[in-house]
Structure 1
Amino acid sequence: MQDDLFGTDAALPQPSSAPPRKAKGVLPAPATETLRVLAQSLPLSLRMGVSTWSYPGWEGLVWDGAYDASVLSRTGLTALSQHPLMRTVCVDRSFWRPLSVEQYAKMAAQVPPDFRFVVKCPNVVTDAMVRSEEGKGQQRNRAFLNASLAVEQFVTPALQGLGDKLGVLVYQLSPLPWDLLCKSQQLFDQLGLVLAATRQALQHAPHVIVAVEVRDPLLLEDGFAQVLKAHNATMCLGLHGKMPPIEQQLPILRKLWPSPFVCRWNLNHCFGPFGYADAQEKHQPFNELRTPDPHTRSVLASTIRGITQAGQTAFVTISNDAEGCAPQSIQSLAEQLQRLNS
């Protein structure tokens, strides 16, 4: 039987039988004393958050009641940012299409000054293939790793719209065709041009972290670490079925030390490299940990502890597909950190 992750003063939330609210605003779930104390035990240099936020199943965990997903998508950020453990969020939808300055500004207006955003680069820049709706590569993408396009459609709008609330820019490279993987140095040279242009565009915003996430294990090599280090960037630790377990990715981070820590826990390894649909089916309505992964959580907690104790910043965002309920995964990770520090 699953333990109550919110302590003895809060029961496991159940889906409401009431119809979703049609109100424009979204109210946060009341924060328990357990949550407030837990948040105070965490290092200030650690920011944890979810990957997207439009989930009605978080009723009682993040939201005070039942809301339609469309309402949560538009106005749920304010309530989310009031959760004691949520100090960042990953904007995933920017991966599918570029967002405007105005869209970013609307997000920034919903959160307090200390909140920070992790934003993904549009796949028109980071995917070497033009893909069908089913995800199958159809032809080569001529805009792949185009430095000018990256600045124009990603860096500049995010920076102008989010301002000081921009925390991390993530370039997630989609799985690459074999001929590009065989020419890794050429790939890293091209990536270096993107990172150089990014840093130039961020010259007045040195607080922004630039991170690169890969989906091909073959890219976890010295050349990858070298290009990141040369351009003051770091690796985004991608916990996903396409990548090795967390402990097998840490050697690259050691090569980059000292550097900030960025991690996106996207998909439980038990579902394999193409298991998003299976994870979604098993985990809905995303209100409990149905596929707990204590090993990954333990190694991640130890890594965060070591990095933050050394004075480095850490951003960790978690998807429902990691264990079934991102807010509860975040609380479990916080509890693990609390035990390590006690």
Structure 2
Amino acid sequence: MQDALFDDPDMPPAPVATAGTVRKRAGAPKVLPAPIDPTQQTLATALPPQLRLGTSSWYFPGWAGLVWDGEYGQPVLSKHGLAAYARHPLLRSVSLDRTFYRPLSASQFAAYAAQVPDDFRFVVKAPSLVADAMVRAEDGRGEQPNPAFLDPALAAQQFVQPALDGLGDKIGALVFQLSPLPGSMLARLPQLLQRLRAMLAALPALRPAAPDGVIAVEVRNPEFLTPAFVEVLREAGATYCLGLHPKLPPIAAQLPLLRALWPGPLVCRWNLNRLHGGYGYEQAKALYEPFDKLVDPDPETREALARVIAGTTGAGHNAYITINNKAEGSAPLSVLALARAVERLGG
């Protein structure tokens, strides 16, 4: 039986309908998009076609008026909101984050693909089954080493092949986000890079099923940011996922890795505002909910990212950028601000 399509493992229960609840007619879409803003439509047409901007998941009620035509509960949005999300002129991608918690089947991926237009591209996180070095307790603490970490067969069978079969040419980036490693593993980084090399080499080729698709590796330990890591990615035809997160150095310090892998596509996930530190997700969530405005604008990061995007797309390469609500307070508004910054640079 298919799980409820929740991107957050700790979803609250659906709200109970009241007498004032507006009921949509039978057969109508369960979630409708916000009216299209003509200025955003014009902005979208001015952006490079290789650029696909999006958010991390889409189930947020606070996006009413920004993405949705009104208020909907999280469970409704999680199950039925993607089609409405994909009608927003600037949202041509999304990060499928629920895949980190449990692998999806090809049919589940196909159900997502059926809800979006042909030029939409998904950024998909690999399951923690193969991307997390630790087996974790419910509170997130590592209990013991994960024997399946970077397992080549599991990575192919439980992630890459189902994504290929279900999403097909709507794959943008398949991202192995390696969770923070304990010091004992970091002390054996050369051996770990060998495991990563073996896994990447064993993955099914994305082309021709997904001509725009790329395998990307995102890390949470700055110790990875070395020429040896770059060489592993280059050998496999993979790329580095620019991770904008306080556990890593600012964007400028990560750019040498992208230059070393040039030419090629750009994959970036803007996860968390540096103001909150490496463990600040809950703090950011408490400050930013309901995610309907920019609370902590970060123009420095935004402008730096816009320059990287312009350079990448200007050379004819794809750029997949997804933004979390915890980056500035509202992911759709961050997308809008970033799109404007790219337009100012001439695309």
TM-score normalised over the length of structure 2: 0.91
- Give me the identity figure in percent: 54
1:207 corresponds in structure 2 to: 212
- Alpha-carbon shift at residue 275 of structure 1 (Å): 0.2
Matched, 1:27 2:32: yes
1:97-154 deviations in whole A, cap 9, x for unaligned? 1111121111111111111111000011011110111111101110010000001110
Matched, 1:298 2:303: yes
Q: Secondary structure at the match of 2:203?
A: helix
1:261 corresponds in structure 2 to: 266
Q: Secondary structure at the match of 1:262?
A: strand
Matched, 1:105 2:77: no
Equivalent-residue separation in structure 2 for 1:20 and 1:291 (angstroms): 34
Aligned-partner residue type, residue 110 of structure 1: Q
Query: How many residues in Structure 1 have an aligned counterpart in Structure 2?
Result: 325
TM-score normalised over the length of structure 1: 0.92
| Contact 2:59–2:77 (8 Å) recurs in 1 | yes
| Contact 1:21–1:66 (8 Å) recurs in 2 | no
Aligned-partner residue type, residue 126 of structure 1: A
Distance change (3 Å), C-alpha of 1:75 and 1:334: same
Moved more, 186-195 or 295-304: 186-195
- Alpha-carbon shift at residue 181 of structure 1 (Å): 1.2
2:70 corresponds in structure 1 to: 65
- Which residue of 83, 89, 92 maps to 2:94? 89
- Which residue of 78, 81, 86 maps to 2:83? 78
Matched, 1:321 2:345: no
Q: Secondary structure at the match of 1:160?
A: helix
2:256 corresponds in structure 1 to: 251
1:305-332 deviations in whole A, cap 9, x for unaligned? 1111111110000000000000000000
- Alpha-carbon shift at residue 179 of structure 1 (Å): 2.2
Q: Unaligned stretches of 5+ in structure 2?
A: 1-18
Matches within 5 A, 1:1-342: 23=24, 25-200=30-205, 204-341=209-346
| Contact 2:58–2:77 (8 Å) recurs in 1 | yes
Moved more, 57-66 or 172-181: 172-181
RMSD over aligned CA atoms reads 1.5
Equivalent-residue separation in structure 2 for 1:192 and 1:293 (angstroms): 35
Q: Unaligned stretches of 5+ in structure 1?
A: 1-17
Equivalent-residue separation in structure 2 for 1:180 and 1:43 (angstroms): 41
